Amino acid sequence: MQHLSDEMLIEVYQRAMAMKLDQAFIELLHVELQRRNLIAAIASA
């Protein structure tokens, strides 16, 4: 996950949600978003 830029991580998360991918994968992305303090960026996107 650390190889993804913040912007790419947000995009991957949004696409995973839209495509209704595996919940465990979405949770993994969400945890990384929290670690990077990017949750607010998702709400405003």
What are the residue ranges spanned by the domains of the chain? Answer: 6-44
Shortest CA distance to 44 belongs to which of 10, 5, 19? Answer: 10
The tens place of each residue's pLDDT in the chain, 45 residues long, gives: 779 999 999 999 999 999 999 999 999 999 999 999 999 988 876
Q: What is the CA radius of gyration of the chain?
A: 10
CATH domain 6-44 topology: Helix Hairpins (1.10.287)
Residue 43 pLDDT = 81
Output the pTM of the full model.
0.88
- Phi/psi class of residue 20: alpha, beta or left (left: φ > 0; alpha: ψ in -120 to 50)? left
